[in-house]
Amino acid sequence: MSRMHCRLVVAALVLSLVSACKSEPPPPQLESVTSALGAWQGRGSTTIGFVSDSGRFRIRWNAKNESPPRSGRLHLTVHSAVSGRPLQEVLDYRGEGSGSVDFSDDPRSYNLMVDSANVDWSIAVDGISGVYRGRP
């Protein structure tokens, strides 16, 4: 192999190694961001109104102080605040407890119908939206 040919081979190898080591920046990642839409508490039934700009939200709930024992119920249904039609039953719970439920629909005004008996309840609604992280 000639000396010139060896140099070309070495140069080609160096270029391919440099190209292989070059890394493209990672693509932007969509991350969820939550924001408080409201928090309420009470005993008995009521209607809670709120607006979700994304149509995605999380309902955090807590039922406590059941009296008399084994008689408590917390039932939550999401309704359209515009038409009044029920969109989804999100919770039907008996007794004391807590948890969260995610909901996804179109951006709009909502009513959360709270049907409760024999428990104190607290409800918080957090809006969920997406934001891209890692943009160049």
pLDDT score of 27: 76
Residue 35 buriedness (CB in 10 A; 0-12 / 13-18 / 19+): exposed
Written as tens digits, the pLDDT of the chain (136 aa) is 566 555 655 555 555 655 555 567 777 777 888 999 999 999 999 999 999 999 999 999 999 999 999 999 999 999 999 999 999 999 999 999 999 999 999 999 999 999 999 999 999 999 999 877 775 5
**Which pLDDT value is given to residue 35?**
95
Alpha carbon distance 11, 49 (integer Å): 69
| H-helix or E-strand spanning residue 8 | helix 3-21
Is it true that domain 33-131 has CATH number 3.30.160.20?
A: no
